[in-house]
Amino acid sequence: MASAASIGCSWCMDFGYWENAERGMDRRKLHDVPVWRESDAYTPLERDVMEYAEAMTATPPVVGDDLAGRLRTTLGEPAFVELTAMVAVENLRSRINAALDLTSQGFKDSCDVPGARPNDAAATATAD
């Protein structure tokens, strides 16, 4: 979801919120994804994962050796490769949806993505 928030894909944020809430993820963590740096809801590992997702999402990618090294050490090589693949898949999905101007479908009542295009924000702005 950090990649989707960086790209501004309200559909991906909306669906990601619903899917992860259905799997029992803490709703505060889901809600705070767009502002994860200011939130105290995340563990240090979760923060590294979101920083990595954003760094991979930047064009061009800006993943630093220190961050990649921390994740490799903490997760192990197989999980680090899987994380990288999942962030890449989310980039593909979010960029396609954003290019096609797909917006929230109501999976979550509100899916505010800071910096989203005005039509996305208007389509998704309702009270939590």
The answer to whether residues 63 and 52 touch, using CB atoms and an 8 Å cutoff, is yes
What is the C-alpha separation between 41 and 14, in angstroms, rounded?
19
Q: What is the pLDDT of residues 13-58, one digit of tens each?
A: 888 898 998 899 999 999 999 999 999 999 999 999 999 999 999 9
pTM surpassing 0.85?
Answer: no
Q: What are the residues whose beta carbons fall under 8 Å from the beta carbon of 115, sequence distance 6 or more?
A: 8
Q: What is the pLDDT of residues 48-86, one digit of tens each?
A: 999 999 999 999 999 999 999 999 999 999 999 999 999
